[in-house]
Amino acid sequence: MTSLPSAAPGDQRLVQPRRSFCATLGLLAMTATLPGTAQAPGAPERPPDPHPLKLTEATREDMSPGKVLDYRRLGAFYLMADERGIYALSAICQHLGCLVLSEGASGFGCPCHDSAYDFQGEVTQGPAKRHLNHHAVRETDPKGLLLVDISSTVPPETRL
């Protein structure tokens, strides 16, 4: 068994490294709290859904401009339509990952820290800084039910 060397009283060799270690910790803590140096927290990574293809009960004919169908329970998204077509908007807030709620004519609001998004998923009020993700939507055969791939992220202007 190996024993650690014992320090003689007044031996500065062991005291000095501890002091410098504590000073380094203090500097790190101060740096982390200075404005502009702290990392902004992002939405936490969620484990990938093993079944990312979500079959809705809606068809193209069900989706008229202004329609918003809530599929938060099926796969954390909203199926929507505007004059350009059908699209799927993630319900996962880009601040810290809470599920946003449909707030009628004003778009979507996050109950956690009050971020707000319009119907295109653009941020209208922070603290969120990024728009909601858009997912790919396609029609299935033979019934024409709409299928959303929540593992995909498509450009916000994408429509079916």
Report residue 57: phi and psi, to 5°: -100, 10
Nearer to ligand FES, 56 or 94 (CB): 94
Pick from 52, 56, 58: nearest CA to 133: 52
* Residues in region 122-141 near ligand FES by CB under 6 A: 127-128
Pick from 129, 125, 108: nearest CA to 41: 129
* Residues in region 98-117 near ligand FES by CB under 6 A: 98, 110, 112-113, 115
Which range in 23-31, 32-40, 47-55, 91-99 contacts ligand FES by CB under 6 A? 91-99
CA 97 to chain centre: 4
Residue in this structure with the two tokens 């809606």, named with its chain if needed: 58
Nearer to ligand FES, 56 or 115 (CB): 115
Nearer to ligand FES, 132 or 137 (CB): 132
- Helix and strand numbers, DSSP H then E, in the chain: 2, 10
Assess contact for 139 and 160: CB atoms under 8 A.
Answer: yes
How many residues at the interface with ligand FES, by CB under 6 A? 11
Which range in 2-10, 24-32, 92-100, 136-144 contacts ligand FES by CB under 6 A? 92-100
Q: Tell me which residues touch ligand FES (CB under 6 A).
A: 93, 95-98, 110, 112-113, 115, 127-128
